[in-house]
Amino acid sequence: MSSLLTTKDITLEPIDNRRLASLCGPFDDNIKQIEKRLGVEISYNNTSFKVTGKASQVDGVLQLLKDLYVETQPVKGDFPELEPEQVHLAIQGSSVLEQNRNESWGKEVHIKTKRGVIKPRNPNQSQYLMNVVQHDITFGIGPAGTGKTYLAVACAVEALERQEIRRILLTRPAVEAGEKLGFLPGDLSQKVDPYLRPLYDALFEMLGFEKVEKLIERNVIEVAPLAYMRGRTLNDAFIILDESQNTTVEQMKMFLTRIGFNSKAVITGDITQIDLPRGVRSGLRHTIEVLKDVDDISLNFFTANDVVRHPVVARIVQAYDKFEQEEARLQKEKKEQARIEKLNATGSGESEQ
């Protein structure tokens, strides 16, 4: 055992097997959730618990176990079941989670899948991965080719293989990129498939075609159009909303309020490629303004310098940015010139009178 780790124990009182069963949960699910979220090892014999981890974390975990044990006290003779949601909220409110974030801040994160290790290629990608790990809701905003969608899928696959979540849900608004494709044949999944091809490609690369197909059949990987998300609550899931710049304000609000306990959501999009009808406001643009000061939500912005595709893609993005900035400057000058001419015309009319 590493010298950086320490072990402490505690006996929870009063000793009661029914309360112990409630604390641990079926198949020790509550204990496993604490271990995964807080990076410690917990063993127990009756109500004697032993916690192994970093010295800065162990005391906090022991206190967390004490607090949760209090929650199992009988009420009017009935022993309440400690729900996963209660454990999740207790972890969220514990000091240990904040310590974990502070200690790991700035360190490079590697995503491990069965097909290999996926590493960030630049500082922005590294920060993005760190934020996905540390936050329940993460936004990846930037041009095509910056790896925001690919890395989100990698995080989802790793979480599934570690059994931190029970399913992956892929969704995006079904908006055509500047052209009408007409009626699409097939069932719901087949209709949405063309829109989710980048996500599928990443899944196939990390898990293999056959395994992805089996997971889809078992509904472990679920494909759902954004319009069908209303009314659902998504627990124990990793949700990826791709091409979010094409959501409306109402759709984005609806999506963000679907997220349940022990779930993560990654929202990716490029605000320079909005395909919504003229006059319809992008939900992603609106959300950046609304949620910029909300804690526990991470906003990550990529630039052309973060593009990891062919070098010419970065130059294309930079050229478009430069052109759009110049166009905006000319439009501003035109409006200012028109305003001055209007003022001059009004002044001339008054002097003639």
Which pLDDT score is estimated for 283?
Answer: 92
Q: Domain of 175: which CATH number?
A: 3.40.50.300
Residues 172 and 214 in one domain: yes
Query: Domain tally for the chain?
Result: 3
Domain carrying residue 211: 106-309
pLDDT digits (tens, 9 = 90+) for 58-100: 988 999 999 999 999 988 888 888 888 788 878 877 767 656 5
Residues 133 and 214 in one domain: yes
Residues 158 and 300 in one domain: yes
Which pLDDT score is estimated for 77?
Answer: 80
Which pLDDT score is estimated for 178?
Answer: 45
Which pLDDT score is estimated for 299?
Answer: 92
Residues 292 and 340 in one domain: no
CA distances from 1 to 55, 62, 191 (A): 13, 20, 53
Which pLDDT score is estimated for 331?
Answer: 87
d(CA 334, CA 330): 6
The last residue of one of the domains, among 76, 103, 130, is 103
The last residue of one of the domains, among 44, 79, 103, is 103
- 278: amino acid identity, one letter: R
Q: Which residue ranges in the chain fall short of pLDDT 50?
A: 1-3, 104-106, 177-181
Residues 123 and 55 in one domain: no
Which pLDDT score is estimated for 250?
Answer: 93
Q: Domain of 53: which CATH number?
A: 3.30.1370.10
Residues 95 and 125 in one domain: no
- CA 191: distance to chain centroid? 25
Which pLDDT score is estimated for 1?
Answer: 43
Residues 149 and 96 in one domain: no
Which pLDDT score is estimated for 205?
Answer: 86
Residues 85 and 168 in one domain: no
The last residue of one of the domains, among 77, 103, 129, is 103
Residues 235 and 284 in one domain: yes
Residues 341 and 251 in one domain: no
Residues 252 and 196 in one domain: yes
Residues 92 and 117 in one domain: no
Q: What is the pTM of this model?
A: 0.65
